[in-house]
Amino acid sequence: MKKISLLVFVLLLSGCSVFKSQESSITEPVLLKQSPFPTIPESLSDKDLDLYCEMLIGSDGKVGRAKILTSSGDETWDYLAEASLMKWEFSPALLNGDPIEILVRRKIKLQYVEPQSITLAEILCNRQSEAESIYTELVKGKDFDEAAKKYSVSSTKDLGGYLGKVDIRYYCKEIRQVLSDLSEGEFTKPVTYGEYFVIFKRLKETKENIKVNLIF
């Protein structure tokens, strides 16, 4: 089996945008973060795996249903691939500014790429003004862990925003570029993340981090 992580890129995308709507009043959903696809079995390793998929993206940006429309030839792999699609994160499609549910069908192209993993923490905010205020406090020396526990709306807040070891290649291009420039101990300015605003911090690679990452 190939040892390299498998990333999926949707063809004809622009920036982080994934689907183009035929209705000018509809704002297309935006891909925020992918989920790893299953390892390609030996029986499929030499095949061209450009596939068609269908996803029902809810008004909250979550994938409510996913289906591989053109089988890879391996039913087990198709099932695992659909499970991966269910974990993709989007901003919701908008109709005249209001979030809507939308069914999309598109061709996806699978490519092998080297992983780029770093240890991250986050502070997720509902409003840009709040994120900018927190960023100002961090610049003045406020502890990131304490700020995450106090202000973050993410499920990681009780862990001080700890995300663990993350392959940043699964984020959309804009976020991936920001994270790739971070040095250990540095944090980002507020970054738009769908309807949210997030501040990321790159943690130092320590034995403690590795241990926690294995537990979670």
pTM of the model: 0.73
**What are the φ and ψ backbone dihedral angles of 204, each rounded to 5 degrees?**
-70, 145
Question: Along the 216 residues of the chain, how does pLDDT read in single tens digits?
Answer: 444 444 554 443 333 444 444 555 888 888 898 888 887 777 666 555 778 899 999 999 999 999 999 888 888 889 999 999 999 999 999 998 899 999 988 888 777 777 789 999 999 999 999 999 999 999 999 999 999 999 999 999 999 999 999 999 888 888 999 999 999 999 999 999 988 999 999 999 765 554 444 333
Tokens of 194: 């769908």
Fold that domain 117-215 belongs to in CATH: Chitinase A; domain 3 (3.10.50)
Fold that domain 6-112 belongs to in CATH: TolA/TonB C-terminal domain (3.30.2420)
Domain ranges for the chain, please list them. 6-112, 117-215
b or e along 155-180 (b: 16 or more beta carbons within 10 Å of the residue's beta carbon)?
ebbebbbbbbbbbbbbbbeebbeebe
